[in-house]
Amino acid sequence: MKALVKNSDSHGIWMEDVPQPICKANEVKIKITHTAICGTDLHIYEWDEWAQRNLNLPLIIGHEFCGVIEEIGSGVTHYKTGQRVSGEGHITCGYCRNCRAGKRHLCHKTIGIGIHRSGAFAEYLVIPETNIWPIDNIDSEIAAFFDPFGNAVHTTLSYNITGEDVLITGAGPIGLMSTAICNFVGARNVVVTDVNDYRLKLAMKMGATKTINTSKDTINEYFNELNMVSGFDVGLEMSGNSVAFNSMLDNMYNGGNIALLGLLPNNTKVNWDHVIFKGLNIKGIYGREMYETWYKMTQMLKSGLNISKVLTHKLKIENYNEAFEIMASRNCGKIVLEW
């Protein structure tokens, strides 16, 4: 089968012919129809320091996908061939304390597809039955990026945001989807910051109350316009940028809640006075809750949440290099590749 393989420690990714994966007893084999490119895939494509530290090559990359079940293992009980599905890319152990407590997103033995084992940028993918998520009548091109949509839902619904003033730092695809979710569940102000005007424009389309390019303006000069007294109730950090995170701390209201999704550099300096004297709560977010986040994602889409505007580019898989270059330019939302 065709697959996008990282096979050498240099810039790029290559289409190769590789053996099809074998579907074992409790596994499901999916014929991939659509995939989406994640920031993680770009790290691997560019072969940066993170990728060099974390990956063993060769590797079929990719973890955002949608497809049709082609084959089921002998022990599979809940799925049939022909069903359209997406799936959770974190494969958890099932036996550790957190797994057994129903908190599988906190499993300390998590294996990521497209990172620790063969990924989804291939004609076929095999994953455990428990990781399958049926998508019913949701568009395949949307289901292709359920993984980051799940990051957005997990982060955004971490706190009660109804009627609250929310600051989202970072208007990448996950920040953009969070913007739509905040609106959908009834936040009062949804303010989005970034330094990229293309993405800030998209944030307005996703329902932001106000976007601020922080390379030109400061956040608090808009408090009056937004009828805000002294800061945000909820902060969703989606940029992984230390300046953005510190500007969030500056602009939080006392007792505010912050969820951190963006990966901040290890040398990030934090003004702890804000955290302590304002009594802020800070929570780290990783992945999606299995499978409560997936349930919420699906039901919100079915009840009217619209995230389709985050999808800005659709390309055929043959044009994967062009897709990675668009991704690297950052002038895009989600990019979906058709197989």
Per-residue contact flags (x/-) with Zn ion for residues 79 to 118, judged by CB under 5 A: -------------xx--x--x-------x-----------
Q: CA of 302: how far to CAs of 60, 94, 136, 258, 297, in Å?
A: 32, 30, 10, 28, 9
**Any catalytic annotation for residue 169?**
no
Closest CB to Zn ion among residues 64, 165? 64
**Shortest Cβ distance from residue 140 to Zn ion (Å)?**
17
Classify burial at 303, counting beta carbons within 10 Å of its beta carbon; exposed 0-12, middle 13-18, buried 19 or more.
exposed
Q: Which of 43, 90, 154, 313 is catalytic?
A: 43
Shortest distance, position 325 Cβ to Zn ion, whole Å: 18
Scan residues 38-57 and list those touching Zn ion (CB under 5 A): 38
Determine the distance from the C-alpha atom of residue 212 to the mean position of all C-alpha atoms in its chain, rounded to a whole number: 22
Q: Are strands 111-112 and 90-91 parallel, antiparallel or unpaired?
A: antiparallel
Site string (242-281) toward Zn ion, x via CB under 5 A: ----------------------------------------
**Least distance from Zn ion to the Cβ atom of residue 259, Å:** 17
As a residue count, the chain comes to 339
* Closer by beta carbon to Zn ion, 115 or else 212: 115
Report how far residue 287's alpha carbon sits from residue 112's, in angstroms, rounded to the nearest whole number.
Answer: 10
Nearest alpha carbon to residue 155 among 282, 32, 268, 60: 282
How many angstroms separate the CA atoms of 193 and 197, rounded? 10
Q: To the nearest 10°, the Cα dihedral for 110, 115, 121, 126?
A: -40
Judged by CB, which is closer to Zn ion: 24, or 100? 100
DSSP state of 97: H
Pairing of strands 281-284, 252-260: parallel
Q: Cβ closer to Zn ion: 93 or 185?
A: 93
The least CB distance from residue 99 to Zn ion, in Å, is: 3
Q: How far is the CB of 159 from Zn ion (least distance, A)?
A: 23
Nearer to Zn ion, 21 or 89 (CB): 89
For residue 187, the tally of other CB atoms under 10 A from its CB is: 24
Pick between residue 147 and residue 233 the one whose CB is nearest to Zn ion: 147
**Residues in a beta bridge with 31:** 68, 124
- Ramachandran quadrant class, 304 (left: phi over 0; alpha: psi -120 to 50; beta: rest): left
Site for Zn ion in 122-151 (CB under 5 A): 147-148
Confirm whether 43 is a catalytic residue.
yes
Q: Which of residues 19-38 bind Zn ion (CB under 5 A)?
A: 38
Q: Smallest gap, in angstroms, from Cβ of residue 121 to Zn ion?
A: 12
User: x-or-dash pattern for Zn ion, window 191-230, by CB under 5 A?
Assistant: ----------------------------------------
Q: Are strands 210-213 and 124-128 parallel, antiparallel or unpaired?
A: unpaired
Q: Scanning residues 300 to 319, which ones bind Zn ion (CB under 5 A)?
A: none
Catalytic residue among 35, 40, 156, 293: 40
Which residues contact Zn ion (rule: CB under 5 A)?
Answer: 38, 92-93, 96, 99, 107, 147-148
Query: Would you please indicate which residues are annotated as catalytic (active-site) residues?
Result: 40, 43
